[in-house]
């Protein structure tokens, strides 16, 4: 039999639990729209009778529970959904980064209505046709020269724009993506420490965990990560949670990014040939010790080749990949592919026309590089000095051997040959001579546009799928973690009633005691 007033403690525990429940519900309601907030729940348990093992214990039927007790608060969260969300985020990050860069490239090559480049080639042919009708006419030749100059300007303009896009992508990559990821890593490390200290003093630090989860979600957009937690007993019964994050490479190799309060950082490298890389460093900037990764060979922390998903991979692909111009050739076309393609077109254009205008013993180039001597590319192509200085009659009308003493200034067979070069199937080559594309000049221009068009279209389709996938997972996640106001309202009433009931229990006890104390033993008084 328990003590006379024992019941009051049971009633009090009921009041405590009910009030805490109401407060938890209130916290949920007030945070219904807080970003990243996870629905919280009060963990309670029934306290059993503690007299079971006493030596002079009474009858077993007398074991009455000692009320309810709060063990703590916890979050409604499904770790499996977090894993799914983060792996989808990596895919989305990759297509998202690519679509950013592709959108910029689209301004240069994706327009179906403003095709100045193609049109200018058509104009050049038109002027050549006019020249074929009145060869060596200085006025017509000057118009041809002007038309050619416009083509060259468009070459240079496009090359400059591509360069700007590459610089922009570089800035987005280094100052945007890498910096954000680094800040996230640092914050996660710091939060880990804060959560640990809180845990030691018994605080579950649920809000800090929400913050940390948001940062991990953010980090997962940049590369494929794996999050592991373990519970560590720090003595005196306190259990803390330690979290570590690994970057998981495409082949399954794992590289530690965060281990409890220790974290690493990413650093962008740029090689002389313009390729970008990503290096893992310690938080103080020191090189990582490759022995940390066991048998995985890692030179100076360079993880570039291991990154195959996430925004980092998207940016690296757009910055480094040159598709058919890479050795071995691939189908991954970054900004470099479009630059090389334009260079190859400019080079072929200059080569073919220079050759068409020259004879074995009379070299008369129409175009040259500026400054001269280099391989002609879209960014350095210029009208040759000789042509620029000529007052007319520079374009070779005819290569036919002529009878000395007879003028043949109006035989335009060579101009027709030049015109025919615009219809000829040419082989466009990379700087090292690998054949990339076969077709006419203008087909090559169209090919650049349609290749980009197809790439944008394909990327958009995958990106859209990724968006709807991640929305789906997020939906499921919210379904578990989000606050439903109906539910909270019901809880409010329910817990309020619990509180009322517990109070009623106490009043009942009080009345019972009153009977015992005040009314008992007064018979006959």
Partner 1 sequence: MRITNGMIAGKYSRNLNSAISALDYYNNRATTLRRFDKVSEDPVSAAKAFRLRRAYFENDNFHNNTSNAENQMLTAETSMRAINTTVQEVATGDIMKAVTATSGLDERNIIAAKLRKTMESIVASANTQYGDKYIFGGSDAKKPPLTIAQDGTLLYRGVDVNTGKLVNEDGAIAKVGDFKISFGEDNGQSFNGYTINIINDPASPVAFGDAEIEVATNTITVNLPNGATGQDLQDALQSATIDGVLSVDVSKITVSGDLTKEAKVGTSAISDRVDLNELAKETVYIDLGLGLSVSADGNVNAQSAFNTSIPAISFLGYGMDANGNPKNIYSLLGEMATELEKENFSYERLTSLEDSLKTQSVDLLSSVTELGVRSNFLTTSKTRLEDATYNIKVQINETEYLDAAEAIMDFKLQEYIYNAALSMGSKVIQPSFLDFMR
In the range 356-375, which residues lie near partner 1 by CB under 8 A?
356, 361-362
Query: Near partner 1 by CB under 8 A, which window of 9-17, 203-211, 226-234, 402-410?
Result: 402-410
**Residue 18 binds partner 1, judged by CB under 8 A:** no
Alpha carbons 206 and 304: distance in angstroms, whole number: 36
Instruction: Considering the complex, state which of residue 297 and residue 360 has its C-beta at the smaller distance from partner 1.
Output: 360
Nearest to 342 by CA among 145, 147, 160: 160
Match 């953010």 to its residue by tokens.
218
> Closest approach of Cβ 387 to partner 1, in Å?
16
Whether the CB-CB separation of 414 and 356 falls below 8 Å is answered with yes
**Residue 489 binds partner 1, judged by CB under 8 A:** yes
**Residue 168 binds partner 1, judged by CB under 8 A:** no
Instruction: Considering the complex, state which of residue 123 and residue 241 has its C-beta at the smaller distance from partner 1.
Output: 123
Instruction: Considering the complex, state which of residue 109 and residue 312 has its C-beta at the smaller distance from partner 1.
Output: 109
Alpha carbons 385 and 362: distance in angstroms, whole number: 15
Cβ-based neighbour number of residue 44 at 10 Å: 17
**Residue 492 binds partner 1, judged by CB under 8 A:** yes
Which one among 479, 497, 507, 508 touches partner 1, defined by CB under 8 A?
A: 479
Alpha carbons 260 and 231: distance in angstroms, whole number: 12
Which one among 23, 133, 270, 511 touches partner 1, defined by CB under 8 A?
A: 133
Residue list 107-126, contact with partner 1 (CB under 8 A): 109-113, 115, 118-119, 122, 125-126
> Closest approach of Cβ 180 to partner 1, in Å?
23
**Residue 472 binds partner 1, judged by CB under 8 A:** no
Instruction: Considering the complex, state which of residue 380 and residue 412 has its C-beta at the smaller distance from partner 1.
Output: 412
**Residue 389 binds partner 1, judged by CB under 8 A:** no
Which one among 45, 50, 80, 475 touches partner 1, defined by CB under 8 A?
A: 475
**Residue 417 binds partner 1, judged by CB under 8 A:** yes
Angle at which helices 6-30 and 485-514 pack, to 10 degrees?
A: 160
Compute CA distances 58 → 10, 24, 49, 53, whole Å: 20, 39, 12, 10
Q: How many CA atoms lie within 13 A of 39 on its CB side?
A: 17
**Residue 452 binds partner 1, judged by CB under 8 A:** yes
**Residue 406 binds partner 1, judged by CB under 8 A:** yes
| Strand order, beta sheet including 262-270 | 225-233, 239-248, 254-259, 262-270, 276-282
Instruction: Mention every residue, 6+ apart, whose C-beta is less than 8 A from residue 433.
Output: none
Instruction: Considering the complex, state which of residue 32 and residue 517 has its C-beta at the smaller distance from partner 1.
Output: 32
Most distant CA atoms of the chain, gap in Å: 162
Which one among 75, 180, 398, 469 touches partner 1, defined by CB under 8 A?
A: 398
Instruction: Mention every residue, 6+ apart, whose C-beta is less than 8 A from residue 129.
Output: 419
Nearest to 124 by CA among 440, 490, 460, 399: 440
**Residue 450 binds partner 1, judged by CB under 8 A:** yes
> Closest approach of Cβ 424 to partner 1, in Å?
10
Instruction: Mention every residue, 6+ apart, whose C-beta is less than 8 A from residue 218.
Output: 180, 184
Q: Which residues of 429-464 are buried (b: 16+ CB within 10 A; e: fewer)?
A: bbeeeeebbeeebbbbbbbbbebbbebbeebeeebe
Instruction: Considering the complex, state which of residue 379 and residue 449 has its C-beta at the smaller distance from partner 1.
Output: 449
Which one among 250, 471, 507, 508 touches partner 1, defined by CB under 8 A?
A: 471
**Residue 490 binds partner 1, judged by CB under 8 A:** yes
Which one among 233, 407, 425, 432 touches partner 1, defined by CB under 8 A?
A: 407
Which one among 68, 165, 288, 419 touches partner 1, defined by CB under 8 A?
A: 419
Query: Binding pattern to partner 1, positions 230-259, x when CB under 8 A?
Result: ------------------------------
Q: Which residues of 52-81 are buried (b: 16+ CB within 10 A; e: fewer)?
A: eeeeeeeeeeeeeebbbeeeebebebeeeb
Which one among 402, 431, 516, 517 touches partner 1, defined by CB under 8 A?
A: 402
Cβ-based neighbour number of residue 332 at 10 Å: 16
Instruction: Considering the complex, state which of residue 39 and residue 209 has its C-beta at the smaller distance from partner 1.
Output: 39
Instruction: Considering the complex, state which of residue 46 and residue 402 has its C-beta at the smaller distance from partner 1.
Output: 402
**Residue 326 binds partner 1, judged by CB under 8 A:** no
> Closest approach of Cβ 386 to partner 1, in Å?
12
Structure tokens at 484: 């439903």
Instruction: Considering the complex, state which of residue 79 and residue 521 has its C-beta at the smaller distance from partner 1.
Output: 79
Residue 39 φ/ψ, nearest 5 degrees:
-55, 135
**Residue 482 binds partner 1, judged by CB under 8 A:** yes
Instruction: Considering the complex, state which of residue 369 and residue 414 has its C-beta at the smaller distance from partner 1.
Output: 414
- Cis omega (within 30 of 0) on the bond before 113? no
Which one among 270, 289, 410, 511 touches partner 1, defined by CB under 8 A?
A: 410
Which one among 33, 53, 291, 327 touches partner 1, defined by CB under 8 A?
A: 33
Indicate the DSSP class of residue 375: P
- Cis omega (within 30 of 0) on the bond before 88? no
Instruction: Considering the complex, state which of residue 244 and residue 491 has its C-beta at the smaller distance from partner 1.
Output: 491
**Residue 438 binds partner 1, judged by CB under 8 A:** no
């Amino acid at each position: 039999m328990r003590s006379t007033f024992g019941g009051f403690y049971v009633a009090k525990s009921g009041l405590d639990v009910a009030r805490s429940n109401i407060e938890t519900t209130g916290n949920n309601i007030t945070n219904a729209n807080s970003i990243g907030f996870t629905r919280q729940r009060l963990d309670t348990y029934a306290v059993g009778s503690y007299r079971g093992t006493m030596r002079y214990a009474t009858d077993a039927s007398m074991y009455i529970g000692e009320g309810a007790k709060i063990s703590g608060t916890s979050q409604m969260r499904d770790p499996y959904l977090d894993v799914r969300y983060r792996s989808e985020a990596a895919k989305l990050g990759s297509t998202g980064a690519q679509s950013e860069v592709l959108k910029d490239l689209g301004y240069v090559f994706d327009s179906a209505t403003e095709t100045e480049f193609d049109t200018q080639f058509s104009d050049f042919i038109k002027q050549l046709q006019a020249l074929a009708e009145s060869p060596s006419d200085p006025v017509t030749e000057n118009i041809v020269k002007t038309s050619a100059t416009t083509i060259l300007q468009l070459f240079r303009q496009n090359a400059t724009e591509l360069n700007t896009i590459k610089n922009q992508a570089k800035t987005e990559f280094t100052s945007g993506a890498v910096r954000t990821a680094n800040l996230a890593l640092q914050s996660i490390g710091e939060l880990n420490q804060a959560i640990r200290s809180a845990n030691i003093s018994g605080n579950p630090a649920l809000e800090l965990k929400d913050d940390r989860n948001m940062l991990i979600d953010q980090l997962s957009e940049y590369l494929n990560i794996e999050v592991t937690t373990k519970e560590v007993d720090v003595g005196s019964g306190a259990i803390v949670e330690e979290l570590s994050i690994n970057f998981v490479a495409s082949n399954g190799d794992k590289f530690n990014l965060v281990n409890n309060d220790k974290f690493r950082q990413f650093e962008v490298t740029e090689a002389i040939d313009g390729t970008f890389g990503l290096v893992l460093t310690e938080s103080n900037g020191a090189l990582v010790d490759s022995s940390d990764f066991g048998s995985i060979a890692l030179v100076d922390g360079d993880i570039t080749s291991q990154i195959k998903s996430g925004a980092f991979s998207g940016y690296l692909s757009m910055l480094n990949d040159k598709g058919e111009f890479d050795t071995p050739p691939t189908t991954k076309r970054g900004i470099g592919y479009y630059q090389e393609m334009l260079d190859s077109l400019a080079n072929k254009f200059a080569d073919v026309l220079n050759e068409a205008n020259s004879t074995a013993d009379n070299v008369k180039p129409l175009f040259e590089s500026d400054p001269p001597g280099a391989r002609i590319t879209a960014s350095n192509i210029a009208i040759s000095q000789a042509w620029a200085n000529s007052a007319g009659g520079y374009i070779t009308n005819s290569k036919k051997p002529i009878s000395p003493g007879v003028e043949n200034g109006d035989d335009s067979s060579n101009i027709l040959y030049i015109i025919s070069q615009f219809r000829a199937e040419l082989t466009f080559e990379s700087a090292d001579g690998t054949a990339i594309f076969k077709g006419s000049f203008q087909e090559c221009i169209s090919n650049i546009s349609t290749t980009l068009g197809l790439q944008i279209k394909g990327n958009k389709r995958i990106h859209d799928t990724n968006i709807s996938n991640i929305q789906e997972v997020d939906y499921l996640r919210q379904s578990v973690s989000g606050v439903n106001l109906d539910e909270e309202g019901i809880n409010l009433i329910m817990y309020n009633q619990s509180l009322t009931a517990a109070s009623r229990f106490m009043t009942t006890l009080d009345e019972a005691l009153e009977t015992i104390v005040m009314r008992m033993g007064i018979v006959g008084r």
